[in-house]
Amino acid sequence: MTEIPEEWLEKAILDGHINFLDYNKFTEPVVIGVGGFGKVFKYEWKDTELSVALKCLRVDKNIDDKTIKNFINELKLLRKVSNHQNIIAFYGVTKDDSGYYNLILQYADNGTLREYLEANIIKLQWADKLRIAKEIGLGLLFLHDHNIIHRDLHSKNILIHQGIPKLTDFGLSKQINETSMTSNSIIHGMPAYIEPQCLIKQG
């Protein structure tokens, strides 16, 4: 049966599978980035004193089904794995004043790994770099233990919060099961980070 992504989301909220939070719980929006789904804002979450990142799915007439599917895919996978220290925390969804759904994510205060390395390259010791590499590995291991492959891992999809790496951006990720193991040969992700073997096999 074909699943209509937005209907799936509404049903999951209604059935209590996804935490839905009132948009008025979030204050002081600041734009922090723009991604495939739309703008990303930093907000302060009243009641918790946490900063959060709201990732908006801007559904206008130009949006394609693939973008909505990636958004829902990210949400489904985050639900399963976001309780690991090296994966961005996922708190639920909200609907903004324009009626758009937003993912509510932990705010990473040091930005992306790429930005963090650029800003701290002189200060960082080998021990820090090794710890970061090890923690990225732990995040990946946790994904793989849940049969999830990220498929778009690069330095802009790893965020740093208080010096700790957090894997993010699961839009292209995939839950592996027996049927999908053999059937998918499409290449995804940022070209510079794609495993060379994948390109050879395509040739």
Ligand X SMILES: Nc1ncnc2c1ncn2[C@@H]1O[C@H](COP(=O)(O)OP(=O)(O)OP(=O)(O)O)[C@@H](O)[C@H]1O
Q: How many residues sit in the footprint of ligand X (CB under 6 A)?
A: 22
* Choice from 55, 116, 139, 170 touching ligand X (CB under 6 A): 55
> Is there a contact between 73 and 170 (Cβ–Cβ < 8 Å)?
yes
> Is there a contact between 93 and 103 (Cβ–Cβ < 8 Å)?
yes
Q: Which of residues 112-131 bind ligand X (CB under 6 A)?
A: 112
Q: Which is nearer to ligand X, 9 or 103 (CB)?
A: 103
Q: Which is nearer to ligand X, 102 or 106 (CB)?
A: 106
* Choice from 43, 107, 116, 170 touching ligand X (CB under 6 A): 107
Ordered strands of the 101-106 beta sheet: 26-35, 38-45, 50-57, 101-106, 90-95
**150 is a site residue for ligand X (CB under 6 A):** no
**165 is a site residue for ligand X (CB under 6 A):** no
128 is catalytic: no
**157 is a site residue for ligand X (CB under 6 A):** yes
**71 is a site residue for ligand X (CB under 6 A):** no
What's the chain's length in residues? 203
Closest CA to 135 of 111, 109, 161, 114: 161
Residue 55 assigned ligand-binding role? yes
Least distance from C-beta 76 to ligand X, angstroms? Answer: 15
Say how far apart CA 120 and CA 127 lie, in whole Å.
14
Stretch that binds ligand X, among 31-39, 58-66, 78-86, 142-150 (CB under 6 A): 31-39
Least distance from C-beta 189 to ligand X, angstroms? Answer: 9
Say how far apart CA 138 and CA 102 lie, in whole Å.
27
* Residue corresponding to tokens 């932990």: 106
* Choice from 11, 35, 128, 199 touching ligand X (CB under 6 A): 35
**82 is a site residue for ligand X (CB under 6 A):** no
Q: Which stretches of the chain bind ligand X, using CB under 6 A?
A: 32-37, 40, 53, 55, 88, 105-108, 111-112, 156-157, 159, 168-169, 171
Going by the annotation, the residues of the binding site are: 55
Q: Which of the residues are catalytic?
A: 152
Binding residues for ATP: 55
